[in-house]
């Protein structure tokens, strides 16, 4: 098998002109009292859309979720492993785990196996110590906390939009609108992103999930 890199897309496995690679657009924003996470819903195998209604927002613990980008298999395996470790840790400590702990576990795995893995993950959630937090763990295995983070192949197209439209201390509704718009713009321009927009809001009260279908997406004049 050979590996070739083209723009943001890295082919992990090539056999008889069929390449298994998954790219996406994912995003998470902190607000006072929680986080808003969003993702598109397209999984591709080359040019074929293998799943047009994927759920890329995976629960790791009651109030900690992760957005997965990169290889579907790799990110699912990592998320399963971290879910197990975090669950064990939480029972040992007899209290809800910290988002930072979950992000550290992701980082340890992504860094240790960086040669074998292709995974860009955004970990976001709420804990009682520091409230809503977003940690990004891109390919290579770095970990850093950011108030707003985007990832995946479609993220390149929306950095300008995010940088100019993000304001600190936004409310929950403003964050939802901001995330939906950013994802819509990315989905319009990136071939590997599309489908519906899946959103999740995590706060002390729990998790609320929503789906914005194709015809309900925000409309922009040029698209």
Q: Which residues are catalytic?
A: 24
Q: Which residues 116-135 are close enough to bind another protein by CB under 8 A?
A: 129
Q: Judged by CB, which is closer to another protein: 130, or 189?
A: 130
Alpha-carbon span 97 to 74, nearest angstrom: 24
Q: Judged by CB, which is closer to another protein: 31, or 135?
A: 135
CB of 31 to another protein, least distance (A): 21
108 binds another protein (CB under 8 A): yes
Binding test (CB under 8 A) with another protein, winner from 22, 105, 122, 150: 105
CB of 103 to another protein, least distance (A): 7
Q: Judged by CB, which is closer to another protein: 163, or 204?
A: 204
98 binds another protein (CB under 8 A): yes
Alpha-carbon span 221 to 219, nearest angstrom: 7
CB of 83 to another protein, least distance (A): 15
29 binds another protein (CB under 8 A): no
User: How far, in Å, are 5, 11, 75 from residue 2 at the CA level?
Assistant: 10, 8, 21
Alpha-carbon span 100 to 126, nearest angstrom: 10
Segment near another protein (CB under 8 A); pick from 19-27, 29-37, 38-46, 96-104: 96-104
Segment near another protein (CB under 8 A); pick from 25-33, 46-54, 69-77, 98-106: 98-106
Q: Which helix (H) or strand (E) holds 60?
A: strand 57-61
CB of 35 to another protein, least distance (A): 18
CB atoms within 10 A of CB 220: 10
C-beta of residue 27 within 8 angstroms of C-beta of residue 149: yes
For residue 136, which of 12, 37, 19 has the smallest C-alpha distance?
Answer: 37
For residue 161, which of 22, 25, 7 has the smallest C-alpha distance?
Answer: 25
CB atoms within 10 A of CB 139: 17
89 binds another protein (CB under 8 A): yes
60 binds another protein (CB under 8 A): no
| Adjacent-strand bridge partners of 144 | 136
Instruction: Give the DSSP letter string of 172-184.
Output: HHHHHHHHHHHHH
Binding test (CB under 8 A) with another protein, winner from 15, 92, 115, 116: 92
Contact residues for another protein, defined by CB under 8 A: 89, 92-93, 98, 100-101, 103-105, 107-108, 129
């Amino acid at each position: 098998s050979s590996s070739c890199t083209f723009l943001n897309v890295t082919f992990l496995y090539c056999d008889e002109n069929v390449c298994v690679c998954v790219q996406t657009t994912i995003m998470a924003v902190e607000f006072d009292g929680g986080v808003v996470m969003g993702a598109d819903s397209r999984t591709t195998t080359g040019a074929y859309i293998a799943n047009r209604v994927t759920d890329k927002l995976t629960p790791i613990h009651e109030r900690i979720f992760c957005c997965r980008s990169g290889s579907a298999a790799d990110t699912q395996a990592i998320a399963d492993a971290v879910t197990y470790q975090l669950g064990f840790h939480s029972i040992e400590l007899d209290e809800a785990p910290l988002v930072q702990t979950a992000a550290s576990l992701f980082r340890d795995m992504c860094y240790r196996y960086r040669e074998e893995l292709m995974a860009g993950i955004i970990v976001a959630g709420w804990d009682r110590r520091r409230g809503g937090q977003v940690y990004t763990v891109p390919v290579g295995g770095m970990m850093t906390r950011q108030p707003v983070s985007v990832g995946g192949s479609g993220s390149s197209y929306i950095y300008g939009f995010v940088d100019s439209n993000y304001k600190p201390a936004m409310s929950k509704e403003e964050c939802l609108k901001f995330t939906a718009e950013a994802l819509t713009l990315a989905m319009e321009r990136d071939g590997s992103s599309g489908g519906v927009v899946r959103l999740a809001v995590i706060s002390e009260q729990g998790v609320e999930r929503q789906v914005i279908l194709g015809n309900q997406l925000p409309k922009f004049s040029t698209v």
